[in-house]
Amino acid sequence: MSLYDEGHTIAGWTGFGIATVGSAVVGAGVCTASLPVVVAGLAVVAVSVVVTWVLHLAGWGKPPGVRPRGRWGMRVRDAQARDGHPGCVSCRLAGRGRRAAAPAGVVGTPAATEPVPLSPAE
């Protein structure tokens, strides 16, 4: 059995459902050769991406990687979503999960300003 439970969340299934409807509308637009219907279907697919992202940020998604088996339930809300998940692109796009900003007036730490050798010989 796999240790991953990718997509078994409210955010995942809601996004999938909306995207399926949008894909059906695009297909209907292609079959009827109607550009406005195709554009409307693509707009619905774009909405599915935004809805999934918002639900993930609200805690109804899951962080990337392995989750304990007890947290695999569909209705289990992620309490860490507010702080951001490490390695999560969605959280990074929302500005979450980054290190605390430096105080005003501080350009960088001494370790950050030291030159980094390009090869082991340097």
pTM over 0.75, yes/no: no
74-118 pLDDT tens trace: 777 777 777 777 777 777 787 876 654 444 554 444 444 455 555
Query: What distance in Å separates the CA atoms of residue 72 and residue 26, rounded to the nearest whole number?
Result: 33
| Start-to-end CA span in the chain (Å) | 48
4-13 pLDDT tens trace: 666 678 888 9
Q: Which of 109, 80, 94 is nearest to 52 (CA)?
A: 94
Query: What distance in Å separates the CA atoms of residue 32 and residue 85, rounded to the nearest whole number?
Result: 44
